[in-house]
Amino acid sequence: MEANTMFLTKALLLVCFRVCFTLASDPDPIQDFCIPKPITSPHHHSFSTNLPCKNSSELTTEDFIFSGFKTPGNFSETGLATVPVNPTTFPGLNTLGLSFVRADLKPGAINPPHYHPRATEVAHVVKGRVYSGFVDSNNKVYAKVMEEGEMMVYPKGLVHFQMNVGDVTATILGGLNSQSPGIQKIPSVVFGSGINEELLVKAFGLSLEQIGTLKKRFNPVMSNEH
């Protein structure tokens, strides 16, 4: 009997382990919504789902509306402008497992290869023509030029990218299934994070001088020093 009990316990633990990791994602809300109260304490994370909620008597319809998608964000020198939308900028999203982004690209501009470690993304081309795609874990590229009205999905954790191949500024709206998807841009991760230069030389077959040039370009601290 004791052996059978031990076997059943181990089996249940194994099943739980597999199921828990298979279903891992943003936690499901335990109430209709939670518009967080403003918190000034540095110990609270911006995306925490444990922030105290406003009383429903304090809420209005405006708490569930975001108007920041009407216009593009500020364009960078590379021609990319983004408007990220998450519980920090739109508290109505808190606990709902969603975030969004508006991206505008001037002709020829790119959204460099990047990935979201905690979310799948769906991108909808609102205006323009955009070369869009992602790379799977076998290094196969899935990419095409998307026209207005088309949509593409980027699976969770896979590197993806966009480039405006049209003659007008392109607009893309993205939706992600996490309120804190995270983002890591490949050039900045590799050359702007402080990875040992000797390792980078061996990995990319570049000279120390070339690696130094790339680090100056993608490392914010070094860029400000020069």
Question: Tokens at residue 93, please?
Answer: 């999203």
Q: What pLDDT does residue 20 have?
A: 41
Measured at the alpha carbon of residue 27, what is the angle toward residues 22 and 30, in degrees to the nearest 5? 135
pLDDT digits (tens, 9 = 90+) for 6-29: 544 444 444 444 444 444 568 777
Whether 199 and 152 share a structural domain: no
Cα–Cα dist 217/190, whole Å: 12
Tokens linked to 10: 């181990």
Extract the tokens encoding 6: 């031990």
Domain that holds residue 142: 59-181
Neighbours of 203 (CB within 10 A): 11
Residue 5 lies in a domain: no
Same domain, 153 and 211: no
On the 0-12 / 13-18 / 19+ scale of CB atoms within 10 A, 6 is exposed
* Same domain for 137 and 100: yes
Count the Cβ atoms, other than its own, within 10 Å of residue 60.
8
Q: What is the pLDDT of residues 124-177, one digit of tens each?
A: 999 999 999 999 999 999 999 999 999 999 999 999 999 999 999 999 999 999
User: In the predicted model, is pLDDT for residue 5 greater than 70?
Assistant: no
The CATH number that applies at residue 63 is 2.60.120.10
Paired tokens of 39: 């918190």
- Known binding-site residues equal 111, 114, 116, 121, 160
Instruction: Return d(Cα 111, Cα 132) in angstroms, integer.
Output: 9
For the chain, what's the residue count?
226
Pinpoint the alpha helices (H) of the chain: 2-22, 186-191, 197-204, 208-218, 220-225
Tell me if 132 is assigned to some domain. yes
Structural domains counted in the chain: 2
Clarify whether residues 167 and 193 are in a common domain.
no
The annotation places the binding site for oxalate at 111, 116, 121
Q: Which of 130, 137, 188, 128 is nearest to 161 (CA)?
A: 130
Residues 171 and 81: their CA atoms lie apart, in Å, by 9
pTM (two decimals): 0.79
Binding residues for Mn(2+): 114, 116, 121, 160
One-letter amino acid for residue 62 of the chain = E
